[in-house]
Structure 1
């Protein structure tokens, strides 16, 4: 059920993204010929008012189709309601609303969660380990997700985000040094040695950390507190996501190992769903923001790539030649399929039941 819930949420986020494009086009009177979730052969297909709605075999995304690209279309190429015949600002709005829809959805989800479930009570002392990168210093020290770190070299980390920042600073300033970490696992207190790796002049342990929340909530005091809390969460998630993608350029060796494909995303969603509704809300907000940031990148097949072509058209005063657009799209498709296959194979091989089967 946890895996099913994660798949359902991922599908919902794709629908939200594509619905942004679809509504931006139809509300401006631009012709739309299709709305698809997934790629490949259609499993379910329905046609309504000239638009074909389809659920396709490969649930790795979705798309909104326009008659502009249909060679068999009976619509005149000069029809003013074709997307390519609309002014650049209108086309830019159609491209941008997928990203905007995902960002808006994430913010609404965070607001709804805070309004219904309340705000987290004061955090407990220490720092919570959320995830551990295989082969990193944290993994070598036997740190695991769910561990709580109370102190480093007898220095108490305190509570909340300041505690996380204190831990990060201690690690960064101690590359190749042995740190004595006080850890709680399953209510058992022990001490372990943690030796941060040296990377670009500072220490790294290959672990994601967060405040050690108590798991209890309190009611929201007023609307101002609600919007401040949800807005802070929202901007924090965006900042983390942007930083993660930026690290693919600035620190590719480490960041590449943290890139997740569809299998890993579903696994993460299944794990978070075990925490109940709050876990699913975090999963929805995090993945929705990731979809927004990813699609904003100026790469082929992504919204950012389409926006880049539109910007070039605005500068040149005429569209980019079709052969260049086709080459741009084909290179993006090859990159997308290749990367997806690699990530699926890697993430599947790292699933616990697969590793157990291999080790037999």
Structure 2
């Protein structure tokens, strides 16, 4: 029971931090670009807590499985809660509508009943209808540019005039807003890896190709490699860092490779065959060496960059293998897999949990940059097409692309989730 509770708390905290950091990137640059952020939500589903500040509603929702930044006019903005024929309550200030209540969950102090006949909250900023049930006099009321509307679930957001909508921002600003979420995930990973580096008083793995330890009875020891040797080439190709070294060796399990290395002032060449081991269902090569350790403060801080870069290259190779090595759902993981791995990280302590957070953050950043519609990368691709065409895609075409991408992601997530449940709890 204690371990389950710890896992749940760790999962919520880690996932919450990732979502907040990602969405804050979109939020910050949208604000700087003059785009109205109508809502910043942590979590999904029914609203638990809400407050408004500086034209934005901040909400905490029941399900801790994501979040969103709702920008005026963007695809995430599901529009206003008004339609012809509905009865709302309005607040007036000198004959100017300042608040519109379309919810049954709230009442407006001194609110005036108003039946909507027609409205324009985008360009003209007006409401047309019958006040106090008097259908003998059709009234048109002007709406304040910064008026708010209380939606059906009780969330109060600002209306979305065209000048503060997403599409009204310049192209480079919209592209920056789309890129900012993944960018923040990479920044978070750098910070977390730097913290991990400082926590490791015994030092952190150097990203050089110098050997720190050689395991007993390993392929490397039998080939004559020693601590302090520096591997410079694999099969004649120069390797500049440990990430490239380990990736190359892991990709050739059971296949003989030629290593060129420096031992003191001499350069030697040997042939080794990486041992085949299976990790997380994948066969990789291993010769039994670890990187040299850097104990300096500067080196441990630099682990923020080197650790992130290593993680980026590893995840990128894993993504490439997803397609070149044959598609397999076991190579993917959804919320169930994340929860299962959170349990292992939480048991192993703070450093492991931080490492897992950094891994997820890099993962989230890379996956969101894939050119798949409905992801940030898909939106950036549309920005590139707009720059080439010098005009945006027709709204109908853009919506169709986004819907297709969204449906693809939903179907993929369902398949991955069922597969994860089978892997971790049934198999």
Is the pair's TM-score, using the shorter chain for normalization, greater than 0.5?
yes
Contact 2:195 2:301 in 1 (8 A): no
1:36-59: CA deviation from partner (whole Å, max 9, x where unpaired) = 234444344433343222334554
Q: Which runs of 5+ in 1 are unaligned?
A: 127-148, 175-193, 198-203
- Cα distance in 1 for partners of 2:354, 2:58 equals 28
User: Which of the numbers 150, 168, 173 marks the counterpart of 2:250?
Assistant: 168
Q: Considering only CA atoms, is the larger Rg found in Structure 1 or Structure 2?
A: 2
SS of 1:253's equivalent? coil
- 1:12 aligned residue: 17
User: Which of the numbers 180, 187, 206 marks the counterpart of 1:104?
Assistant: 187
User: Which of the numbers 50, 74, 78 marks the counterpart of 2:121?
Assistant: 74
Change beyond 3 A, Cα 1:301–1:56: farther
Deviation at 1:123, TM superposition (A): 6.0
Contact 2:192 2:354 in 1 (8 A): yes
Contact 2:253 2:284 in 1 (8 A): no
Normalized per residue, which structure has more helix? Answer: 1
Q: 5 Å matches for 1:59-138?
A: 59-68=64-73, 69=77, 70-71=79-80, 74-76=121-123, 79-118=162-201, 119-120=203-204, 125-126=214-215
- Tell me, yes or no, if structure 1 residue 303 matches structure 2 residue 380: no
Change beyond 3 A, Cα 1:283–1:112: same
- 2:115 aligned residue: none
SS of 2:121's equivalent? coil
Change beyond 3 A, Cα 1:310–1:169: closer
- Cα distance in 1 for partners of 2:227, 2:306 equals 18
1:49-91: CA deviation from partner (whole Å, max 9, x where unpaired) = 4322233455443221122142558243874332211111111
Contact 2:50 2:58 in 1 (8 A): yes
> Please, what TM-score do these two structures have when normalized by structure 1?
0.72
Deviation at 1:154, TM superposition (A): 8.6
Instruction: Identify which of structures 1 and 2 has the higher relative contact order when contacts are C-alpha pairs closer than 8 Å and 6+ apart.
Output: 1
- 1:221 aligned residue: 296
Q: 5 Å matches for 1:266-277?
A: 266-277=339-350
- Tell me, yes or no, if structure 1 residue 232 matches structure 2 residue 345: no
Contact 1:159 1:211 in 2 (8 A): no
Deviation at 1:296, TM superposition (A): 0.5
User: CA-atom RMSD, angstroms?
Assistant: 3.5
Paired residues, number:
302
Normalized per residue, which structure has more strand? Answer: 2
Q: Which runs of 5+ in 2 are unaligned?
A: 1-5, 83-119, 124-159, 206-210, 229-241, 257-274
Contact 1:7 1:266 in 2 (8 A): no
Q: 5 Å matches for 1:135-146?
A: none
- 1:253 aligned residue: 327
Q: 5 Å matches for 1:148-227?
A: 151=218, 155=222, 168=250, 171-173=253-255, 206=283, 220-223=295-298, 225-227=299-301
User: Which of the numbers 228, 231, 243 marks the counterpart of 2:317?
Assistant: 243
> Please, what TM-score do these two structures have when normalized by structure 2?
0.61
- Cα distance in 2 for partners of 1:285, 1:274 equals 17
Contact 2:204 2:303 in 1 (8 A): no
Change beyond 3 A, Cα 1:297–1:338: same
